[in-house]
Structures are given as structure tokens and as C-alpha cells.
Amino acid sequence: MRFVTAEDIDRSVPPRDMVEALRTWFAKGCETPLRSHFNMERTNEDDATLLVMPSWEKDGAAGVKVAAVVPGNAQRNLPAVSGIYILLDGVTGQPKAVLDGTRLTTRRTAAASALAADYLARRDASHLVMVGTGAMAPNLIAAHAAVRPIKKVTLWNRRPEKAVTLANEIELLGFEASGTDDLEAACGTADIISCATLSTEPLVRGAWLPEGVHVDLVGAFKPTMRETDDAVMQKCRLYVDSFDGASAEGGDVVQAIASGAIGKDDINGDLFDLTRGKVKGRQSDDECTVFKSVGHALEDFAAAVSVVEALDK
């Protein structure tokens, strides 16, 4: 049985290849029951969440991710999401590989956002506003830059010094990068706004959005969380990673539906629909679009299979 490290994942599958792996698997599909998630109560910090996400291909490989989302890890200088992925042989069912689930999750999540942006963001999108500076942020920047000509990156965090620190690191990769404490002004000039936080209150507001912007929402994976206000959902054409998951768990979508700001029929499609050509993505350069992801077991499965196949070559 192979043990696949974070370094193995990054070395074997670059961002664009990960996007294309997800495009292929969303288009053809596999068996993916709705994930199981369990609340783990904490006494002195926000509750944690345990996730179990299985997936398998008919007459093919199978896999499962076990992950924990621990908001309190921000104070420990650790990633909020950690876990492992177990890939099983398609013929015997024997464990074939155990992969670093933390890196696999950040890479596949970023790839899903970039896949959506490839259908929803303007072709000339060059200014990315990154809301949040945790482990997801560098991966989201790299993934979006793999599908759009991103040149300028503006970073925001509740703690401005964290935005400046990450901006200095991102600048070394060739981007024009800077931190800001004025999120409204940054959003007003953005082509893509990507949010990866554990916020329970709106950070980005619909009144701030310029024409033609694409909003990418990654962080609010529980109904009690949200990164945008209802006006964002009303102003933008809405797409999700999976209809069932986002409409049940994605806080930005769930809360906007509950308030009456939008209905479920305002969800224009998911990544299955987009990759299969069942729905159209962006229709014009001046319309606003929003993509809400909560994570899908297919993404982990696709990423794990692509990594192991690349390592086997």
C-alpha cells in the first residue's frame, strides 16, 4: 500500500491538471452518497465537524475521506481542515493508497472553484480579490490563475497583517499582490472575488459588486455560516458544486432561500450540469455570477485517482 504525501500530490498533479481531472469526473460521474457529518462539541472554542465522504466507480475503484474541520486550529497555526483519503483497488477492494487528506482537500477544493470559474468568469479576468488568508488561499490563487490570466491579487483578512504577509509570499510567484483593509474598495475593482473563511456573518455585500464580477464562495460549508449577504445571491446568476449539497448545507444559499431572497429554482445549475453541457455558464461580460461550493465526494475521488495514476506513470 502506497502512502502519498502532500509533496507527492503537488509534484504529480499541477493545478491545471487537477482542474481537468475534476472536469472529466463531473462529466462522467460516479457513485457518491451525500456525505455524513457530525458535530463535535468543544468547551472553549467553536465546535468541530467530523466528515465521512465515500465514493466509488461501478466496476472500478472506491475511496473514502475522513476529515475534521476545526475552526480553533487558526489559533494553533494549523489548517482548519485535516484528514486522510483511502483509495481501494477496483478489483480486489484492498487498500491501494493512503493520501494526505489535508492537501488533497485544499487542492481539489481549489480545482472545483477554478473549474466553475472556467465556465463563469470573464475570459479576461485579471484581478482576483482573495478574502481569507488560510491554507485555502494560496491554492485558490494558483488554481484560478491556471484558468484565467490573473495578474493582480488583493488579499483581505480580519487581521490585516496576515493579508500583508501572504501578499509578500504571493508576490514572489510573479503576481502583483497586496494586502488591504478596505474590502469594499477591493471588491469594487475585482474580476473574481474568492472567499475562503469560516465566517458566520456576511463579509461581501451585493452593493459592492461591479458589473461582470464572478464570486467564488468556498468557506461556508454549514447552514449557519455565510460569506455574503442576500443581495449577492439576488444580483448574481447562481451555480453550485452539487445541487443537493449546496441547497442543504451551503449557508449562503440556505439562508438566502430561508429569507425568501431567492428560491431553489434560482440555482441555475451545478458542476455536473456545466461539464455535461446541460446548462450554459456566463452569458455576457457584464452579468455577475456566483459559485457556491460545500465539497463533494466525487472531487476527492477524482483527485485521489488522478494523483495515484500520475505517480504510477
Tens digit of each residue's pLDDT (9 = 90 or more) over 76-91: 888 888 899 999 998 8
CA 266, 111, 28, 244 torsion: positive or negative?
negative
Other beta carbons less than 10 A from residue 44's beta carbon: 5
Contacts of 43 (CB under 8 A, 6+ apart): none
Q: pTM of the prediction?
A: 0.92
R_g over Cα of the chain: 18
Residue 52 near residue 145 (C-beta atoms within 8 A): no
Contacts of 29 (CB under 8 A, 6+ apart): 272, 298
Task: Look up the CATH architecture of domain 2-104+298-312.
Answer: 2-Layer Sandwich (3.30)
237-262 per-position pLDDT tens digit: 999 999 988 888 899 999 999 999 99
> What pLDDT does residue 248 have?
85
> What pLDDT does residue 215 have?
98
Every domain range in the chain assigned CATH 3.30.1780.10: 2-104+298-312
Grid coordinates representing 54 are 465515500
109-296: CATH number = 3.40.50.720
Residue 136 near residue 218 (C-beta atoms within 8 A): yes
**Which segments of the chain have a pLDDT < 70?**
none
Distances (CA, A) of 4 to 10, 76, 169: 10, 25, 26
Own/partner pairs, 85-92, CB within 8 angstroms, 24+ separation: 85/300, 85/304, 87/61, 87/62, 87/63, 87/304, 87/305, 87/308, 88/56, 88/61, 88/62, 88/63, 89/61, 90/57, 90/59, 90/60, 90/61, 90/62
> What pLDDT does residue 68 have?
92
> What pLDDT does residue 91 have?
85
Every domain range in the chain assigned CATH 3.40.50.720: 109-296
